[in-house]
Amino acid sequence: MIARLVSAILVTISVNSWNMVGFAETTRVKDGLIGPVRSVTVKKSGYSAMETYDRAGHLIDAVLDLSLANTGTHSLFRYDRDGHLEEELALDPSGRLIFRKRSIYVRDIEGRNTASVTVSDDGRFQNAEFSLYDQRGLLWEQLWVNSSTAYKSLFDVRGRRIYSAYYRKGALLNELRHRYDVLGRLHELVSYDDHGIVTARVTNDYDDAGKRTRSITQTFGDRRPHTWVTTYEYDSVGNWIKEQTSEQSPSSQTISSSTVPIVEERIIQYYYGADSDVVVLP
């Protein structure tokens, strides 16, 4: 379970923090989805979620069901004409409004997004994001902040995230290095604590078609290292539909039979045809 928590931290730093605001890239692209995805339903033990996208690839509806906690939320997302997230509403299971958030954006003279600020319905600050560009106009740094947390990312000339840092109340807690293979695919994530000591490493393997087939997560913060192996299954479009994670035995380097695999499945529906909302499961 420690490895899963670390994996969640790695994913949160590298991806999710940048999905909280609505800069030009579509949510579907940020979520790593391929093709005209209409909805994604995620199922795992004690948890399910369904996300719905419009034809442009923007997340418009998200339902989270925490069955073990007997609770859940329903979120709605609205966008401006340029595809930026403009408003988010969250409802409880009874339909009561939990919160409403609105975002505004600032652009430079070249039309590039340089800042966004999100506030609650009563005007309270929620979060802000800032983007810096180099002399060639390429994104090279992003900073996301709220009242207690900050995420910083640096990018290479190809727009790939190569460094992430997580701060809480001004103190550095975690750093993440992103390394890519010769084909530009994410090969390795290395996590460091605030003293520069390696705490976790994730390496990815790919098949000839470029699909990630296996991820190996190693954690080093406990009394003994832990290794977890995650495998993936895909649909005909190329989106993964099943993720299975098992702990590897440190002595035999095989999957441990004493641990129950953690399985996450996704049911993905697609838009079909140019003018119809018919969906197809390939």
Token pair in block for residue 40? 């994604």
Amino acid present at 247: E
Residue 89 in this model has a pLDDT that exceeds 80: yes
Residue 191 near residue 178 (C-beta atoms within 8 A): no
Rounded to whole angstroms, how far apart are CA atoms 270 and 279?
5
Can you read off the two tokens belonging to residue 54? 């419009």
Q: Domains of the chain (ranges plus CATH)? A: 2-280 (2.40.160)
Exposure string over 221-251, b if 16+ CB within 10 A, otherwise e: eeeeebbbbbbbebbebebbbebebbbbeee
**pLDDT band (50, 70, 90) for residue 248:** confident
Pairing of strands 125-133, 85-91: unpaired
Amino acid code (one letter) for 117: V
From CA 166, how far away is CA 239, in angstroms rounded? Answer: 29
CB atoms within 10 A of CB 1: 10
H/E segment holding residue 5: helix 2-14
pLDDT digits (tens, 9 = 90+) for 236-245: 999 999 999 9
Q: pTM of the prediction?
A: 0.81
Kindly give, in sequence order, each residue whose CB lies less than 8 Å from that of residue 281, ignoring residues fewer than 6 positions away.
235, 267, 268, 269, 270
CA distances for 240 relative to 35, 62, 99, angstroms: 12, 19, 32
Rounded Cα distance between 167 and 159, Å, is 23
For residue 24, pLDDT beyond 60:
no
**158-198 tens-digit pLDDT:** 999 999 999 999 999 999 999 999 999 999 999 999 999 99
